Structure 1
Amino acid sequence: MKTVALTCFTDVLCVWAWIGELRLAELRRTHGEAVAVTQRFCNVFGATALKIQANWGAKGGYEGFAGHLAHVMEGFPELAASPDLWRRVRPASSLPAHLALKAVQAQAAAGGAPDLGDRAILLIRQAFFEQGRDISATSVLDDVISAAGADLADVHARLARGEAHAALMADYQEAQALGVKGSPSLVLNEGRQTLYGNVGFRVIEANIAELLREPQAGAASWC
């Protein structure tokens, strides 16, 4: 059976990546093992205060950004959003969550449950967007990844010896090398196709369907 590799670069604090979880779930439901999804990270909210000041300083700051997020979420009633987001709950950085998740992914690759990494990513997004928890806080991250089924002592060991840091830098550097502009970015066809931002499910599916249909390796794609 032919398999399409899809690499999904996101920042866990990005609302469009949270919405993108709906599309990834539908891909898994409709295509099963025909689409191999790998989740990696890019840097969008590495320094939240600087980002908000640069992009929203003249538009209400955190309050303006919170209003924008609430407006975006109105279009996706399938997903819940805490009213505290960016008003009372303001994570300083996505970096701690990305590091913890790279440690969880490494644990999964070393013999943990195959879906452990994806489950931990989903639960961390839920902790922030649905529950209004500060996922830059170590105590919150520990609680969430434990709930996902990760071995917390092993995660801490991978963080302590720098393994998670090296893996995260590899993600950031690969995102830069591929020309990833932001979150979410879906990379297909060995880097030849990138779908960036709020891309609808039908567009994603059309690209995947064409790659699955392609009869010969290396042949030009018409999508």
Structure 2
Amino acid sequence: MIEEPIRISYFSDVLCVWAYIAQIRLDELATNFQDKIAIEQHFVPIFGNAREKLEKRWCERGGFKGYSHHVQEVVKKFNHITVHPDIWTEAIPASSASCHLFLHAIQLLETKEIVQKSDQVFEKAIWAFRSAFFTKLANISDRRVQFAIAEELKLPIAAIQAQIDSGEAYAQLTKDFDLVKEHTVSVSPTLIFNEGRQRLNGNVGYRVIEANIRELLHNPPEEQSWC
């Protein structure tokens, strides 16, 4: 009897520094658990109206420069990533939603087998967009920048545009919005396990995530445990 993998819903915003930091944890999970888990990526629009949000929330703390300093101070605590010194002060994206839509169009290429799912183009594209923003100040909300990144990944541009033009990429993005409401997700990143009964929000260490997965592996949902 083949056991079904543990399904993990992973919600993040491509412009979120904590999700940028957490990517290494996702990679480690995929390496260590392989076919025992299935990570389903979804997007939450924390920076759906990025400029206005930061202007309001950081108006008394230095504005965009204050937020830039905050991001840089956060990143200094981790040695596996870097950020551009002018992050969030130059080429500031208007919205992460445009990028999320484009990424869902890339995901549809996998679903329709226009590209090989084994190539993991969706996951690679998410990382390419994040790293382009945080390390190169790429305005990833701009469609021209999105196409440029897709070209670097050798993805079929016309096929990506077709998923957007048909409305199918919008449908996938709307599905994310519905899941965000259903699970009341308000933090990036958020991991949801066990059909919504368990969740981990924000900057959670790898060992904590791993412990949750091992608990589910050793104590399946249908089995009760007192501990």
TM over 0.5: yes
| Counterparts of 2:67 and 2:102, CA distance in 1 | 26
Residue 7 of structure 2 aligns to a residue whose secondary structure is strand
Shift of 1:96: 1.1
Residue 136 of structure 2 aligns to a residue whose secondary structure is coil
Shift of 1:217: 4.5
Give, as a single letter, the amino acid of the residue that structure 1 aligns with 2:133: F
Pair 1:77-2:83 in alignment: no
Give, as a single letter, the amino acid of the residue that structure 2 aligns with 1:113: Q
Show the 5 A alignment for 1:42-57.
42-57=44-59
Show the 5 A alignment for 1:1-223.
2=3, 3-111=5-113, 112-114=115-117, 115-214=120-219, 216-220=220-224
Q: More deviation in 48-57 or 66-75?
A: 48-57
Q: Per-residue CA shift, 1:131-186, capped at 9, x if unaligned? A: 22110111111111232342211110111121111110110111111111221001
Residue 84 of structure 1 aligns to a residue whose secondary structure is coil
Shift of 1:31: 1.3
State the TM-score, normalized to the length of structure 2: 0.93
Question: Quick one: structure 1 residues 209 and 70, their matched pair in 2 at CA, closer, same or farther if it must change by over 3 Å?
Answer: same
Contact (CA 8 Å) 2:11, 2:189: kept in 1 or not? yes
Question: Quick one: structure 1 residues 222 and 103, their matched pair in 2 at CA, closer, same or farther if it must change by over 3 Å?
Answer: farther
Question: Quick one: structure 1 residues 192 and 133, their matched pair in 2 at CA, closer, same or farther if it must change by over 3 Å?
Answer: same
Identity of aligned residues (%): 37
Q: How many residues align?
A: 222
| Counterparts of 1:33 and 1:150, CA distance in 2 | 26
Residue 130 of structure 1 aligns to a residue whose secondary structure is helix
State the TM-score, normalized to the length of structure 1: 0.95
Question: Quick one: structure 1 residues 136 and 80, their matched pair in 2 at CA, closer, same or farther if it must change by over 3 Å?
Answer: same
Residue 185 of structure 2 aligns to a residue whose secondary structure is coil
| Counterparts of 2:9 and 2:123, CA distance in 1 | 13
Shift of 1:33: 1.6
Q: Which runs of 5+ in 1 are unaligned?
A: none
| Counterparts of 1:146 and 1:17, CA distance in 2 | 24
